[in-house]
Amino acid sequence: MTPLLRSWSRFAPGMVAILMTLGTVQQAVAQGTATCPIAATCTPGRASSTQAATFNMGILNVTVGNNLINKTSVGQSEGYQDNSCTDNAALVIGQSYAISVRTNPNTTENVRVWIDFNNDGAFTGNNELVFSSDNLIQHTGTITAPATATLGTRLRMRVAADFANGLVPTPCSTPLYSQHEDYGVTLSANASPPMAAFTTNATITCTGCVQFTDASQNLPTAWLWTFGDGTTSTAQNPNHCYTTAGTYAVTLRATNSAGTNTSAATSIVYNANVPVAASCTPQTVNYFANYGITRFELNTINSTSADGSAGYQDFTCTQRTELIAGVSYPMTINTGGVNPHDIRVYLDKNNDGTLAADELIYQGSNVASPGATTNLNLPTGTVLHQPLRLRVIADAIGNNPGPCSNPVSGQAEDYTVVARPNTMPPSINFSTNYVPGGCVNPVQFTDLTTNLPTSWLWDFGDGGTSTLQNPTHQYSASGTYNVTLSATNTYGTASITRLNAVVVSIPCLNYCPSNGTGGIGPGGMLQASPFWMTSVRVSNAVPAYTNTTGNATGGYASYAAQPIIVASGGQINLTVVTNLSIVHRTSVWVDWNTNGIFDSWELVADGTTTNGPNSATFTANFFAPTGTTPLNTRMRITSVASNNFTSPCIVNLLNAEVEDYQLRVQPLATREAQALPGLSLFPNPTHDGRLFLSLPDAKAAGRYTAEVQNLLGATVLRTALRLAPTADAELDLSSLAPGVYVLRLRDAQGQTAMRRVVRD
């Protein structure tokens, strides 16, 4: 060795470095650790379609693991790319690594990935296809190298992509529109204990049998399954059948030479309580155009599924819910594609396995995409405490899907419903065909009570009653009526009162039409008015009235359903606010004589706002007539963005809006009978101003706010009183001038009583 060492001295230092480097490369080649894989047996060609550049598909990014490889490229225009010498991922045998392949965003593609595990230059060995993904743009998954793979040598990984509607790419195929790319993978032995994990074919089973598949990493060599029912298995991928219904915690203990690891527990539910087998299973005849069911929601069921391409689907094992008889449940059926569907829902309510035509519980025809939303009530006679089959069918319109007919283009899906008895008292609700401002009489009342009422009692507010479930009632006198419905079942009675539920005018009055507009637009269409009322207030109504509104459709709105209640002979303080702060004119009519016509003398307010910061606000004061009976009548308000006088019956008034209201003039005598009927005032008239209030009703006792107003509606005295049956309250009116006054008493809940007081 000494002569050899001396021979190095003849070379310059730089030359020595070059020779040493060459020697290292030769040694690396000899040891089989070259930086490139062996050559592949085939080299894929460039995209063959003449339209490849037009569609511009291809592989834009490949990522393996935590950026072990992260390569971005431009796509098919590059053709086949061999990156195996420059982009390499060092992987450990038996561990799973994330892989992501992103293709062109404009068109979905199919992707395949192979690794030459046996290092023969081909991609035909066992398990060398490591990843598959179809019809996507972002393709993600995992890859795991088997224990038999070649170690310590860079292996070739091939990524192939092509058009989703074309042929699936192979390792050696020439793509039609896309490309292939190669990368390097170097594998090392696993020196870590297992990471135990497993998958199942289902976590809910109705047969009792479950297939368990080992998904542990780091190459376990032994397995111990604990199934939660007292049994175990040492197989790698066992199939286990439970004999008793229940919920079981399953774990896997995996072992290799480096150690042992136990997985987290997975719950397996064996539910043997399934519906009776169906007498028929409708099969899709000719799936087309994305017809079918994509989502079904009912109570706790929220099932997303494939459309009719999947054909008949039986979800009775995994998708089930409990429904209470007499309770209404929202139900949603979403359909695929953009075309309308005919939708039917059947329930095998007698649990005989045969879904008959008379078990139809929902029918929707020509239902527009994305489907139907409705409410489901269990039909009378539904079998309780048993799993019942619920069948949902969606098909192309005109096919009239029956419970056993094969859908032409859509599909049928089955679910499980368990009916439970209703043990709650009635929950009261009802509707009517009454239309505010209309001439509906007689009125149809419809019971909407839930929780299965068995008897009903209606009070129509005019002394009339009915025990029918859905009665019709004829009112014989004009007035505003409260309606009460009481309903009873085995578990109790409940009632509800709708105040001012029906307003009847006899004879019925049809007022003249009137509306505002924004003028004629393109195509001769009327435009929405740019000017409208945003609020109407009557500050001294009882209670104070405020109606906040938007731009009424068609320039007219009726708000006659909620009355504005004012006192007989009292002043009415009206404020109307518009959306624009501009000078404008507001006119108000009230049909005092209730003849259905706004006579000229019934114009109660008319004026123009002044320019300035308050130009959007119009105020007016007028008096209600004095009477001894209630008066229900119509008030019409017109606001127009001009100074021009208008009439109550003008149609298509430019830059204007019209609103109607119900004005109720209520005499004090009527209110005395309705509020605090036991209240007495003495002496009345009062000579010295001392007024005493006596209230024998202990239930109404409490603190009241007392407000005294003159007949113009102005408050002249305000104080607090405590009313109780044990002592009279005193109100001092000595500071008031002689005259007639209105006393308002308001309790803590805002309820108001009124009395007339005379100071002489």
pLDDT digits (tens, 9 = 90+) for 492-525: 999 999 988 888 877 788 899 999 999 998 888 8
**What is the pLDDT, as a whole number, of residue 275?**
93
Q: Report angle CA 261, 267, 268 to the nearest 5 degrees.
A: 120
User: Do 561 and 485 belong to one domain?
Assistant: no
**What CATH number does the domain containing 364 carry?**
2.60.40.10
**What is the pLDDT, as a whole number, of residue 759?**
84
Closest CA to 123 of 180, 188, 70, 66: 180
Q: Which two tokens stand for residue 6?
A: 């001396």
Q: Pick from 629, 644, 666: which residue ends a domain?
A: 666
Q: Could you please report the per-residue DSSP string of 317-356? A: TT-EEEEETT--EEEEEEESSSS-EEEEEEE-TT-SS---
**What is the pLDDT, as a whole number, of residue 440?**
85
Partner residues linked to 456 by β-bridges: 487
Residue range 46-62: mean pLDDT, rounded: 94
Domain assignment present for residue 8? The answer is: no
Q: How many CA atoms lie within 13 A of 551 on its CB side?
A: 13
Q: Is omega for the bond preceding 238 within 30 degrees of 0, making it cis? A: no
**What is the pLDDT, as a whole number, of residue 569?**
83
Q: What is the DSSP letter of 229?
A: S
Domain count, the chain: 6
**What is the pLDDT, as a whole number, of residue 4?**
34
Please check the confidence at residue 7 and state whether its pLDDT lies above 50.
no
Q: Which two tokens stand for residue 95?
A: 């561990």
**What is the pLDDT, as a whole number, of residue 668?**
60
Q: How many CA atoms lie within 13 A of 35 on its CB side?
A: 7
pLDDT digits (tens, 9 = 90+) for 684-711: 888 899 999 999 888 889 999 999 987 6
User: Do 598 and 701 belong to one domain?
Assistant: no
**H or E segment to which residue 23 belongs:** helix 13-31
pLDDT digits (tens, 9 = 90+) for 107-129: 999 999 999 999 999 999 888 99
Q: Report angle CA 737, 738, 742 to the nearest 5 degrees.
A: 90
Helix, strand, coil shares of the chain, percent, nearest 5, are 10, 45, 45
DSSP, collapsed to helix, strand or coil, labels residue 478 as: coil
**What is the pLDDT, as a whole number, of residue 458?**
96
**Cα 272 to Cα 751: distance, rounded to the nearest angstrom:** 59
Closest CA to 370 of 344, 343, 407: 343
Would you say 202 and 318 are in contact if contact means Cβ atoms under 8 Å apart? yes
Please check the confidence at residue 28 and state whether its pLDDT lies above 60.
no
The mean-pLDDT minimum among 13-27, 159-173, 295-309, 495-509 falls in 13-27
Q: Pick from 504, 537, 552: which residue ends a domain?
A: 504
Domain assignment present for residue 39? The answer is: no
Segments forming the whole domain that contains residue 540: 516-666
Total residues belonging to the chain: 760
**What is the pLDDT, as a whole number, of residue 669?**
52
Alpha carbon separation from 276 to 280, 354, 355, 485 (Å, rounded)? 12, 9, 11, 41
- Give me the torsion for CA of 316, 322, 324, 330, rounded to 10°: -80
**What is the pLDDT, as a whole number, of residue 598?**
95
User: Do 549 and 494 belong to one domain?
Assistant: no
The mean pLDDT value of the chain amounts to 89
Domain assignment present for residue 279? The answer is: no
User: Which percentage of the chain shows pLDDT scores above 70?
Assistant: 94
**What is the pLDDT, as a whole number, of residue 674?**
61
pLDDT digits (tens, 9 = 90+) for 418-455: 999 988 899 899 999 988 767 888 999 999 998 889 99
Q: Which pLDDT band, with edges at 50, 70 and 90, does 272 fall under? A: confident
Would you say 448 and 430 are in contact if contact means Cβ atoms under 8 Å apart? yes
**What is the pLDDT, as a whole number, of residue 200?**
96
**What is the pLDDT, as a whole number, of residue 673?**
46
pLDDT digits (tens, 9 = 90+) for 516-570: 999 998 888 889 999 999 999 999 988 889 999 999 999 999 998 788 989 888 8
Domain assignment present for residue 317? The answer is: yes
**H or E segment to which residue 156 belongs:** strand 154-163
Domain assignment present for residue 510? The answer is: no
Q: Which pLDDT band, with edges at 50, 70 and 90, does 628 fall under? A: low
Please check the confidence at residue 34 and state whether its pLDDT lies above 60.
no
Q: Pick from 456, 475, 504: which residue ends a domain?
A: 504
**What is the pLDDT, as a whole number, of residue 14?**
42
**Cα 360 to Cα 405: distance, rounded to the nearest angstrom:** 14
Amino acid residing at 435: V
pLDDT digits (tens, 9 = 90+) for 459-482: 999 999 999 999 999 998 878 889
> What is the CB neighbour count within 10 angstroms for residue 37?
23
**Chain Cα centroid distance, residue 110:** 35
**Chain Cα centroid distance, residue 157:** 46
**What CATH number does the domain containing 755 carry?**
2.60.40.3080
Domain assignment present for residue 9? The answer is: no
